[in-house]
């Protein structure tokens, strides 16, 4: 039996029953990484020694029956955007290539406290800016289902590693779809929690009012297990929600009889791939057979979401990335020609083209004479998008849409056309602008064998409802059980 293909629940049960040791399990994953990562390129850093030390400690905890959780001894990996004490954190950028943080992000600390084993750090689009993983400064991650295709982005390494069984689960970040879109492309489950549900402390910032961490897993229950650990208030994060954290696995199998699912007409439009459309509509029928009722709804300001996002997100990126100046930490290119020249050279050589593009867009929209016309107006329309969801949720419990308008596209296909690349996230961006939770789960495959993702959205802090519906669908199908032949 290939233990690297088991779910977190299955692995946790075997660990607690003594059928497996965390050390043996971790060694199996490390061997798997050695065997397949040369084809997939999901990992930037593999922390072999640290992982085996953590596994040994997990074995001790399990043996003593002390502080054992569902994640104790489970090998997971992290998008390389979370600060990890003593382990480099690069954000897939040359400007942070040699940066080793002195502390753990809150997400990382909570995982370690739960006894999880950290296998390493995963590739991503530089500073989480991209939809294909082709913007990494180091190398491109490939899709395990077809290595000629992208894995999605920006958490492409996180999705690909789970799909290729290189970790039991991973944690990524989602600013405009960066968990859900790669989950769709790689045929795994990706959950973006409510904004503020998971601490952003120690998570390198891209767009502070949009960024949110969440799990990528093999199945819905595993996503709930990981969310149980990483969710919760953090006094160190001013945007963290101070609200009780339920057990997200509790009631996950209660079904959805009587639940109303909204179908927004704005998400089933021209440009949606025919195979994606058919798979998502078939998923609707599965949920209706499970007892749900579908209702037609409208989200009228959806057409402005891309424009709003690329003003708000780039403005915040311009502000957040100003700290990378060669003075305090990270890359410093100093050729002795003065402070201003040092700033210019450091940022020119440290940032890639997509990051530079977004910094310039954001700086422009915030500049004198343009702020009111662009950033302020975008913020106002963002409020209208949020109100669209508030109105929709008066008549439904969930909203169902495709995750992405297409399955994974070919490597290089959109690199010369930024606008087409940006449209990859057209169905996921509104969720971030409104701050609501969303999940992507597999709902079929194209004729070419590429996964298709179904997206479900719910009211703020109603992740339990989201997980119940996703679990119900998952139990009625077997898409999540399929594995790529890597």
Looking at the annotation, which residues are catalytic?
79, 154, 178
**Rounded distance, CA 312 to CA 176, Å?**
11
DSSP 125: S
Give 155-194 as a DSSP string.
Answer: SHHHHHHHHTTSSSEEEEEESSSTTHHHHHHHTSEEEEPP
Cα–Cα distances (Å) from 316 to 208, 309, 312, 366, 380, in that order, read 7, 10, 6, 9, 16
**Residue 164 zone, left/alpha/beta (φ > 0; ψ -120 to 50; rest):** alpha
Burial 257-282 (b: 16+ CB within 10 A, else e): eebebbbbebbeeeebeebbeebbee
**Rounded distance, CA 42 to CA 436, Å?**
28
Q: Locate 340 and state its tokens.
A: 């201003």
Backbone angles phi, psi at 444, to 5 degrees: 155, -175
Report the candidate in 230, 232, 225, 222 with the shortest Cα–Cα distance to residue 248.
225
Q: Locate 271 and state its tokens.
A: 């440009």
Residue 117, CA atoms < 13 Å, CB-side half-sphere? 36
**Rounded distance, CA 387 to CA 149, Å?**
37
Residue 481, CA atoms < 13 Å, CB-side half-sphere? 5
- Before 18, cis peptide (omega within 30)? no
SS3 392: helix
Report the candidate in 56, 27, 190 with the shortest Cα–Cα distance to residue 119.
27
Please, what is the end-to-end C-alpha distance for the chain in angstroms? Answer: 17
Q: Locate 232 and state its tokens.
A: 């919760």
Do the beta carbons of residue 303 and residue 266 sit within 8 Å? Answer: yes
SS3 430: helix
Tokens 């909203």 -> residue:
399
Q: Locate 391 and state its tokens.
A: 């109105």
Q: Locate 400 and state its tokens.
A: 């169902």
Do the beta carbons of residue 343 and residue 325 sit within 8 Å? Answer: yes
**Residue 180 CB neighbour total at 10 angstroms:** 35
């Amino acid at each position: 039996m290939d233990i690297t293909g088991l779910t977190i629940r299955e692995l946790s049960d075997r660990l607690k029953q003594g059928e497996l040791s965390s050390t043996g399990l971790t060694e199996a994953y490390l061997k798997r990484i050695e065997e397949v990562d040369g084809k997939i390129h999901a990992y930037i850093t593999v922390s072999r020694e640290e992982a085996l030390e953590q596994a040994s400690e997990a074995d001790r905890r399990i043996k003593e029956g002390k502080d054992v959780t569902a994640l104790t001894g489970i090998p997971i990996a992290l998008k390389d955007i979370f600060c990890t004490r003593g382990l480099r954190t690069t954000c897939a950028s040359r400007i942070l290539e040699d940066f080793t943080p002195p502390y753990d992000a809150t997400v990382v600390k909570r995982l370690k406290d739960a006894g999880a084993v950290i296998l390493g750090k995963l590739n991503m689009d530089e500073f989480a800016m991209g939809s294909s993983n082709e913007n990494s400064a180091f190398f491109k991650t490939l899709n395990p289902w077809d290595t000629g295709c992208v894995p999605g982005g920006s958490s492409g390494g996180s999705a690909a590693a789970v799909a290729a069984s290189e970790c039991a689960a991973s944690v990524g970040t989602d600013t405009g779809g960066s968990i859900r879109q790669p989950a769709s492309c790689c045929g795994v489950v990706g959950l973006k929690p409510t904004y503020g549900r998971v601490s952003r402390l120690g998570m390198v910032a891209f767009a502070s009012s949009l960024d949110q961490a969440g799990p990528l897993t093999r199945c819905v229950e595993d996503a709930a297990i990981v969310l149980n650990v990483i969710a919760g208030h953090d006094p160190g994060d001013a945007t963290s929600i101070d609200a009780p954290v339920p057990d997200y696995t509790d009631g996950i199998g209660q079904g959805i009889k009587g639940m109303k699912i909204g179908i927004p007409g704005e998400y089933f439009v021209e440009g949606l791939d025919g195979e994606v459309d058919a798979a998502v509509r078939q998923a609707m029928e599965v949920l209706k057979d499970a007892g749900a009722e579908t209702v037609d709804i409208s989200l009228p300001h959806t057409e402005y979401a891309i424009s709003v996002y690329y003003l708000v997100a780039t403005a915040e990126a311009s502000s957040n990335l100003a700290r990378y100046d060669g003075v305090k930490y990270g890359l410093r290119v100093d050729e002795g020609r003065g402070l201003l020249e040092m700033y210019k050279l450091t940022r020119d050589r440290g940032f890639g083209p997509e990051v530079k593009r977004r910094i310039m867009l954001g700086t422009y929209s915030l500049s004198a004479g343009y702020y009111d016309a662009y950033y302020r107006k975008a913020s106002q329309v963002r409020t209208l998008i949020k109100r669209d969801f508030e109105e929709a949720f008066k008549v439904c419990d969930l909203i169902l849409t495709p995750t992405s308008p297409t399955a994974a596209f070919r490597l290089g296909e959109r690199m010369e056309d930024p606008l087409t690349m940006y449209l990859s996230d057209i169905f996921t961006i509104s969720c971030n602008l409104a701050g609501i939770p969303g999940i992507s789960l597999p709902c079929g495959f194209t004729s070419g064998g590429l996964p298709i993702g179904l997206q479900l959205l719910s009211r703020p802090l109603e992740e339990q409802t989201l997980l119940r519906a996703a679990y119900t669908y998952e139990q009625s199908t077997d898409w999540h059980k399929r594995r790529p032949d890597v």
